[in-house]
Chain A
């Protein structure tokens, strides 16, 4: 009886919710799901799509999510929108590509899906047809996605685990569903599906490596407190690390706007992820360490401090840093070559920056200093071969089209 009364009450609340409340909730949800950065191209109108997404299979262009009736989603019904999230199928019945993370969004609740659409219908409409995708065969055949879905899409709706706390469950929904965090932080198989047996061990996103988020003390979040995680997601920085590049965008556009309660739920969920396995690394060569120390002392120590202890919340420490000890050094090489900028948030607006060293350091020097910071001060991670630096330099600097 009481359950029935509660259900009725819930129904009344849902039906009685004013449009504005639903739209406000939708806005919060699309922020939590970090939709806008992909659905807005640089210098373009908000939500009008057209951002080129480079995937291993070719270039995809994001869709126009403004309520323009011709080129956007102005005519979409709540059923169609939910189907896109839930099954990866658009209003015309075409398969979408999983660069749009419907394998995560499939578990968004119907109520939340309706709220997200309600909000998107309020943004200014922009007439802008999506560019044609430029994919290599066979990936250019959309119907193939039906097979991908068969293998990797588990259509589902999020259901709380009654054995866990409400906070953990809220965190699970934010991390595993809306936030689609695993899309970057879990490695992908060759056709772009997450490797579930290696969940949260860190993965490639473009020319960056998203770090391990497990409870591993050395390379994961094991040494971060709940407040550390909340602070990182709220302000874009803490005593351990700064959010920049892809994660900087996530913090600026998404997580800084979440309530402290939701951020705490995210932290609770992340902290419960079991630690990833340790891997043994061979000692780096003395030559690389010697050269690396020279480069560190001359080029890095002014900001990161002579003993790599950093300046809390401004210049990240390298000593005992999980970020620098990842199994893959792509991010480190990347930021040394091109520089990077810390997220500028409402609570911590300083966009503390790392300068580019591509013009100043050779491949040998970058490989050495990267190896050094991964193995000095008690750190331990595989040495970085010179050829890895050369390859990334070619891609990021030499082959980069002129702006």
Chain B
């Protein structure tokens, strides 16, 4: 029997980046806010102090900062003809858990999406015809917001995080040294780009020789000391090379812990409850209002927390699962194409080309999660796709994230996977190898979706979320094209040899690829193809909002964090200006 708690104004479920952003923005209204986080409190000196934060075994291989798969996981299958099985150990992606969420262990690659990414369907249909957007069972659609809508919010979050980079487009004027394809910025980045190391410099030189426009990766790892608009301070990055999968002990990486929480946690109207897993949302009789959330704490005690406004701030999987468990919104059915919750789950497709030198010391251990040079000639619709047989694209880069001794030793083709010959090649290659990577978009397809698993349950007895996903020919053609372009650049870097690692065959959930899972609770203008309206408000339950990359109608060829944050600020602006004064649907549903 759940203990009923006194009602509060705002309840947040999940406490990573969006939870921190929402709480910080709403706390100044004076409303009483409670955030429920299933994981534990985490801060820099206690949980990832510089005396132990570069422990690859603990953090990378033993998954110290990630969701605890033995308690809560997902089932996976490639298609509807298979039986999904639980993912018992993370591989392809690494969901976060605990305060700060995956914002603690991200690399800090801080991209804005392209202007045309927000008009994915209409733009491509106009340029390449209807077949180009209907092929491969694609279910892509335009975003309900434009780049211009999000620009001020991108800008705001870049200031919160102290992003370092070089603008390529300020107010429509192309800037030398930046990304000429990016949407217009209102101003330059708050910090300069990071200092480049040898690998990225060789890439930039080669890319330039081929006529491309290399530019530095926008980075949430500090190129210099920085104080953000909340008065919080970040220190200069030490280029230790332990960002992705690790917390930063030097206050050099933007995370909720470094950029928001010390200010937020002092606010008397904000309460964070850790070790609190939400089991379901409870609706009123009309099914149009959420009245409370039921959660269980670490001692196994159940509580019911009533609230006037509920905002889901968890990872896309958890948000979708909670919607399905609570019976909010119509579950998606791939057979009929009807329903919305779980629809348009997407991912990304990556590949790489290793570049081996004899005569150049790359020193990969001097690294940072967002240290590198990129080209954007083959992202989005920055290039002509006519006759290519696919749409969209991705960026190509040499990113020197680090030279971590277990994960990041690359050897040429033909070298055995273990033994004396491997050791010799590893010793020879470690300091003399760099990697050109591609980071491609994945479109939405009719057969890729999320639903509740019919068989497997978590420790609380809830059905696991089932992921049904595979790359289609759209993704493979696009990724192969990107990989060929990457190989061209790799050859122009004049190495001894290269090794091309294309992404072949069915999507495999075992090898690490990227934690950029999107969709499932898509945002749109049409309630029949979206879960939320343009302000991330549930079409069905007006006092419920859903933050996060679940809102993406399809994925883009960039890391998602900045867009996730910009969408959250865009929603919060409307919540503060309109919803709090007059709670109710922010967008009317004409003809529904």
Q: Which A residues fall within an 8 A CB radius of B?
A: 299, 302-303, 311-315, 339, 341, 344, 346-357, 360
Contacts and interface: CB of A to CB of B under 8 A. Distances in A.
Contact of A302 (B230, B240, B262, B266): B240
17 contacts: A299-B51, A303-B250, A314-B225, A315-B235, A339-B45, A339-B49, A347-B231, A348-B231, A349-B230, A349-B231, A349-B263, A350-B232, A350-B233, A350-B251, A350-B262, A355-B50, A355-B249
Interface in B12-57: 44-45, 49-51
Shortest Cβ-Cβ A-B pairs, 10 listed: A355-B49, A353-B45, A349-B262, A350-B233, A355-B51, A302-B238, A314-B233, A350-B232, A349-B263, A311-B225
Contact of A341 (B45, B50, B51): B45
Interface of B: 44-45, 49-51, 225, 230-233, 235-236, 238, 240, 249-251, 258, 262-263, 266
A314 B225 CA distance: 9
Nearest to A352: B251
Contacts of B235: 303, 311, 314-315, 352
A348 B251 CA distance: 14
Contacts of B251: 314, 350, 352
Contacts of B44: 353
A312 B387 CA distance: 57
A302 B51 contact: no
B225 A312 contact: yes
Given A349-B231, A350-B251, A350-B258, A356 B51 contact: yes
Nearest to B230: A349
Contacts of B262: 344, 349-351
The listed residue with most B CB atoms (<10 A of its CB), out of A302, A315, A346, A348, is A302
Given A302-B250, A339-B45, A349 B51 contact: no
Contacts of B45: 339, 341, 353-355
A311 B236 contact: yes
Contacts of B49: 339, 353, 355-356
Nearest to B226: A314
A365 B266 CA distance: 38
Which residue, of A302, A339, A350, A351, has the highest number of chain B Cβ atoms within 10 A?
Answer: A350
A360 B51 contact: yes
Contacts of B238: 302
B19 to A, nearest CB: 18
Contact of B233 (A313, A354, A355, A356): A313
Contacts of A302: 50, 238, 240, 250
B50 A352 contact: no
Nearest to A313: B233
A349 B266 contact: yes
B261 to A, nearest CB: 9
A313 B234 CA distance: 10
A18 B51 CA distance: 55
Given A314-B225, A349-B262, 5 more contacts: A311-B235, A311-B236, A314-B235, A339-B45, A349-B232
A350 B236 CA distance: 15
Contacts of A346: 266
Nearest to A301: B238
Contacts of B231: 347-350
Contacts of A344: 262, 266
Contact of B50 (A303, A314, A349, A350): A303
Contacts of A347: 231
Nearest to B259: A350
Nearest to A355: B49
A357 B230 contact: no
Nearest to A351: B262
Nearest to B236: A311
A252 to B, nearest CB: 11
A247 B568 CA distance: 39
Nearest to B264: A349
Contacts of B258: 350
Contacts of A299: 51
A102 to B, nearest CB: 33
A352 B258 CA distance: 9
B249 to A, nearest CB: 7
A311 B235 CA distance: 7
Contacts of B51: 299, 355-357, 360
A349 to B, nearest CB: 4
B240 A352 contact: no
A58 B50 CA distance: 37
B584 to A, nearest CB: 36
B249 A352 contact: no
B381 to A, nearest CB: 42
A299 B51 CA distance: 7
A152 to B, nearest CB: 40
Nearest to A349: B262
Contact of A348 (B225, B233, B249, B266): B233
A294 B204 CA distance: 36
Most buried by A among B45, B238, B263: B45
A349 B258 CA distance: 10
B253 to A, nearest CB: 13
A347 B263 CA distance: 10
A92 B543 CA distance: 60
Nearest to B44: A353
A348 B266 CA distance: 12
B161 to A, nearest CB: 14
Nearest to A342: B233
A163 to B, nearest CB: 41
User: Which of A303, A347, A356 gathers the greatest number of chain B CB atoms within 10 Å?
Assistant: A303
A38 to B, nearest CB: 22
From B233, B236, B258, residue with most partner A Cβ within 10 Å: B233
Contacts of A311: 225, 235-236
A382 B470 CA distance: 68
